[in-house]
Structure 1
Amino acid sequence: MQHRILFRRLFLLPALKSKTPAPTRLLIRHAQLNSQTRPQLPFLSTPLAKNHQFRYLTTERKRWLVYEVYLAFKYTAYFWAIVGFSVIAYWSVQQEWLERKYPTPHEWGFLTRLRFRIAKWGPDRTDWVGVETDWVVIGEYAKNVIERLEDRKIEGAGVEDLMEGGIWIDGIGNSGYDITAKSEPWRRGYYEALMLAAKAAEQLDDHVLDTTRRLVFPASTVIGPSNPNPKPIPAGAETAPREENCERAFEEPETFYMRVLTTRGFSSRQKMDAALAYASWLDFKQVPEAAIRMYDWALSLASENTPPTEVPYDKGSYVLRDNAPAPSKNILDALTALAVHKARYEDISTALPILLSILRARRSLPETQSKSFTTYNKTETPSDSPWTARNIFNAIKRLAAPPAYPPPPPSGELPPIRDAQERCEEAALNLYIGEIIYASKAREDGLAWTREAVDLAEEQLHKLGPGPSANEDAKKTCRECLSSGLENWAKMAARLAREEREKEAASPASGTWFGLWGDSKHQKHGEKEETIGRWAAEENVVKERTRRAQEVLDELEAPNTPFSSVFSA
């Protein structure tokens, strides 16, 4: 046995030591390799016929699909989160901007302040180009704010009725409340909400509500017996409503005006402004008897804090006395509105003396005090750079701290100072007087008064200068006066120039017998020289002044860069 094992080892040893395999034929090699692969099982091989089964969802494909679904949900969540945060950021910046432009009392709730800001922004919106002001939305927001302020459970804690159970005014509703327990910002915000609702009610006075669709339409488009010729609906709008389905769209304006006049806690100036606005509305509705009563009420409110012996006007003619003390701003405004009402109804003999006495009183007011200029230390020099430490600190303070509610406006119970605002009011008085004198057939004098009003208004606008300033009310008054004055001046001059041309055309030629031949003095090469008359030259002057003043009326403030607007002091 041992010999046999030893012989086997010696026989196999040379074969194990040889490293190079023996050359083989190619076909034999491939046949050997194929024979060494794993067996071809049915579930691991590629199907060769339709009847063979195979796996579509492998383990690797499952993992890939799960990962793809995870990525889809992940990036979708990221996208909508970015969109949501962007909308919230935009809305927050917009509300901050609205709060600074239209401040609201800080003691009001969030929803009340939000709706009040949107309501006040409505008439001034310019982001919807070509779209008219939506007074329906403004009125609804303003009315909702009023309801929340009068509700004892929301914002009206401390608001009391004037009497037990309140006072009911026929045709108007409940009277005002006693809000003396509220703070001054709360009362001022409540007053602004009432006046905004009254303005919306004026705009919606001729509108109706279709109760079937809850849509508001002008009353002139209603189909029914009371409107036999309805106006057509604009293309693309809803169909016209039926008269039997319509009711009044909004409360009457006197509802809100009387709420202001009968509320205890408003100042005399606030009530006087409400009375004058209501009287102007009654003039528009052509109810002069009720309007004159409201003007008298406004004048009594303007002089209620003045002793009877110191009332500066005559109670019969309403003319300011020369030896009387200087009238307050409230009295001047009330008398001006009353005189305009008299002139509107052609009571010139009463209106003109009132306006002239007011103009004399305004011109005799004390001049404005000299402005106090800022002094700098010798080591400090003013810098125009927005990157100074003071500007950066002020910018951070404005962005971090909530804007302060503005202080209350002047009460109007003291005589005004003859500043830019009062000079613009003088220009408006000159304009009123010019219209009245021109209507009373003294056309040249009326045109002269109008020209003086235009000169004064344009001068004040140039003094106030371009860009934002503290005298925005004065600039607004002067712009309105200048625009109206140029329009009136142009109409007056055009009419006088037309009458002048007609008179020259109707008169016979001078210097000839019976007008049979033309004037040789004006003949040159067979053509007659045209001479410009006085009022034709005045008409050309008005056109040039209008062109020159248009630059002031249409001045546009240059937009600030983002950094300079943030860091501007």
Structure 2
Amino acid sequence: MQRRILFRRLFLLPSLKSGSLTLTRVLTRYAWLASQARLQLPFLSTPLARNHQFRYLTTDRKRWLAYEVYLGFKYTVYIWAIVGCLVIVYGSVQQEWLERKYPTPHEWGFITRLRFRIAKWGPDRTDWVETDWVVIGEYAKNVIERLEDKKIEGAGLEDLTEGGIWIDGIGKSGYDITAKSEPWRRGYHEALMLGAKAAEQLDDHVVDTTRHLVFPASTIIGPSNPNPRPIPFGAEKAPLEENCERAYEEPETFYMRILTTRGFSSRQKMDAALAYASWLDFKNVPEAAMRMYGWALSLASENVPAPDRPYNPESYVLSDTARAPSTNILDALTALAAHKARNEDTSTALPILISILRARRSLPEPSATVASTSPLSDSPEASKLPDSPWTIGNILHTVKRLAAPPAYPAAPPSGETPPTRDAKERCEEAALNLYIGEIIYAGKAREDGLAWTREGVDLAEEQLHKLTPQHTDAAAKQTCKECLSSGLSNWAKMAARLAREEREKEAQSNNTSASNISTWFSLWGSGRDERDTPGRWAAEEAVVKERTRRAQEVLDDLEAPNTPFSSFFSV
């Protein structure tokens, strides 16, 4: 048995070895034949030497990418549409607010009205660090050019003569605008006055023609300016003289355009003449300024016959027996007297101012009809106003105000009739007291000058207390505010100077008395009360400081802002 098993091993082993060799060689090429039950994983197999190419952009991935691009484009369009709508809404609300605060004639075009609003808003803007008169002047000049262009807003304008009139050194004269409506003429006058104001502010500025930048003339680098003022840090480089020219027209260009235009009222021309005369005073040309003040007085009294004029044509003093002077005459005479006082002709200015003050104090009081139209009156209509803003009538009125364009304001008074002694006129009286007080104080009667100033401050403060925040007379508020501020400033300077002189006299007298005391009893004092008691003018100075503090509270309360939401429901 054992022998048989041995022979089987000897004959079978070579055949098994040969078969296993072939199977092993096969398995070296096809690893999957080794075991059908063995788990095949990617990380268990040996990586191939060459890289295989895979298809990354499949059909599903194409569809997904197209959808993502579509979503991105859609949301981008939505976001920009929302941003655009918000910008349009913001601009519309801003222009509506500007139109209500700075109204423009409705017959003007959209672009002209838009630029005129921005120009008028410029001096009052709070988002500017300082008023940019370059921007204001450019807008004002553009509005004037559009109004004088017969193809845009100037249809119906006529030259005064064939081909117009050219004034040497000034330019073209005015036009004949009598065919235009009153709102158009008033807006044209406002644009010219705004352009003149911008020209005054830019009188000493030049423009660099190579960079189109405006600089003060004191910063020019050139032979005419050997010591140029340094440029602020971060600003553009200073301009060269050969590249500079005048930045804006001269103020007289605009003033003479108004004075030579046919169609403006006497009041409008008089305002331009007074502003031009004040500019000439500032430029230290008193002779030309006096001629312009005389022209303004002639315009103020052109509708009054020469025999009926209430002032002396030589001394300009108002007569007590003449008719009551008009508003234009009072304003022109006041400006003329101030001009004479500035040029040290106080002997002529003081009688004029006193006669004007006497005439203003004799003006009639406001009638009951005018008083009943004020917002402070207890009229039946005022008593019917609702206490709550949420009534149906108030809400409908608010919707109407927001939907309908604001009406252009009515024409102001012509100034050819005597004024009434209302709050504004009483503040004008206070301003006259200040003028008279300055003139008298500059002379020998300092105490009398301070007394006149104190009286003017009292009158202005009294009227400010009467003008509540609900009062609609903005001109009266502004006049009283300016008068009170100027009066307190003058009063403080006068009292401070008198108090200083008083202290110097007291110190000098104390030194003299101390040198005369030579006895040994002075060691125990002179028997007098040595306490520091303030003098008369020192006490006056303390009173001025207290009045200034109280007046500042009144001025702050006067300009208290209203909440924007509640202002929509004002009736």
TM-score, normalised by the number of residues in structure 1 = 0.88
Provide the C-alpha distance between the structure 2 equivalents of 1:234 and 1:50, rounded to a whole number of angstroms. Answer: 70
2:394 corresponds to: 391
Query: Contact 1:509/1:515 (CA < 8 Å) preserved in 2?
Result: no
Query: Contact 1:367/1:417 (CA < 8 Å) preserved in 2?
Result: yes
The alignment status of 1:354 with 2:331, answered yes or no, reads no
Q: Mapping of 1:274-293 within 5 angstroms?
A: 274-293=272-291
Residue 292 (structure 1) shift: 0.2
Q: Mapping of 1:269-308 within 5 angstroms?
A: 269-308=267-306
1:413 corresponds to: 416
Provide the C-alpha distance between the structure 2 equivalents of 1:559 and 1:260, rounded to a whole number of angstroms. Answer: 36
Q: 1:374 to 1:344 in 2, by over 3 A?
A: same
Q: 1:375 to 1:455 in 2, by over 3 A?
A: closer
Q: 1:64 to 1:318 in 2, by over 3 A?
A: same
Provide the C-alpha distance between the structure 2 equivalents of 1:303 and 1:182, rounded to a whole number of angstroms. Answer: 25
Q: 1:175 to 1:474 in 2, by over 3 A?
A: same
Query: Contact 1:160/1:177 (CA < 8 Å) preserved in 2?
Result: yes
1:83 corresponds to: 83
Provide the C-alpha distance between the structure 1 equivalents of 2:248 and 2:268, rounded to a whole number of angstroms. Answer: 23
Query: Contact 1:269/1:302 (CA < 8 Å) preserved in 2?
Result: yes
Deviations 1:97-119 (A, max 9, x none): 11111111111111111111111
1:547 corresponds to: 549
Provide the C-alpha distance between the structure 2 equivalents of 1:385 and 1:284, rounded to a whole number of angstroms. Answer: 53
Give the residue type in structure 2 aligned to 1:540.
Answer: A
Provide the C-alpha distance between the structure 2 equivalents of 1:189 and 1:505, rounded to a whole number of angstroms. Answer: 62
The alignment status of 1:520 with 2:518, answered yes or no, reads no
Residue 127 (structure 1) shift: 2.0
Residue 515 (structure 1) shift: 3.5
Q: 1:347 to 1:515 in 2, by over 3 A?
A: farther
Q: 1:212 to 1:393 in 2, by over 3 A?
A: same
User: In the alignment, which of 507, 510, 520 is matched to residue 509 of structure 2?
Assistant: 507
The alignment status of 1:57 with 2:63, answered yes or no, reads no
Provide the C-alpha distance between the structure 1 equivalents of 2:384 and 2:336, rounded to a whole number of angstroms. Answer: 53
Q: Mapping of 1:22-33 within 5 angstroms?
A: none
1:434 corresponds to: 437
Q: 1:468 to 1:381 in 2, by over 3 A?
A: closer
Query: Contact 1:508/1:515 (CA < 8 Å) preserved in 2?
Result: no
User: In the alignment, which of 180, 183, 186 is matched to residue 181 of structure 2?
Assistant: 183
SS in 1 for 2:62: helix
Q: CA RMSD in A?
A: 2.3
1:477 corresponds to: 479
Give the residue type in structure 1 aligned to 2:528.
Answer: H
Deviations 1:222-259 (A, max 9, x none): 01111111000000000000111111110000000000
Determine what percentage of the aligned residue pairs are the same residue. 78
SS in 1 for 2:516: coil
1:227 corresponds to: 225
Give the residue type in structure 1 aligned to 2:421.
Answer: R
SS in 1 for 2:297: helix
Q: 1:469 to 1:216 in 2, by over 3 A?
A: same
The alignment status of 1:148 with 2:154, answered yes or no, reads no
Give the residue type in structure 2 aligned to 1:532.
Answer: P
User: In the alignment, which of 492, 495, 498 is matched to residue 497 of structure 2?
Assistant: 495
SS in 1 for 2:83: helix
Provide the C-alpha distance between the structure 1 equivalents of 2:234 and 2:304, rounded to a whole number of angstroms. Answer: 59
Give the residue type in structure 2 aligned to 1:385.
Answer: S
Deviations 1:468-495 (A, max 9, x none): 5321111111111111111111110111
Provide the C-alpha distance between the structure 2 equivalents of 1:557 and 1:323, rounded to a whole number of angstroms. Answer: 42
Q: 1:62 to 1:286 in 2, by over 3 A?
A: same
TM-score, normalised by the number of residues in structure 2 = 0.88
Give the residue type in structure 1 aligned to 2:527.
Answer: K
Matched pairs, number: 524
Provide the C-alpha distance between the structure 1 equivalents of 2:354 and 2:177, rounded to a whole number of angstroms. Answer: 40
Residue 513 (structure 1) shift: 8.8
Give the residue type in structure 1 aligned to 2:555.
Answer: L
Residue 506 (structure 1) shift: 1.1
Residue 73 (structure 1) shift: 0.4
Provide the C-alpha distance between the structure 2 equivalents of 1:513 and 1:562, rounded to a whole number of angstroms. Answer: 71
1:253 corresponds to: 251
Q: Where does structure 1 lack aligned partners over 5 or more consecutive residues? A: 1-29, 36-46
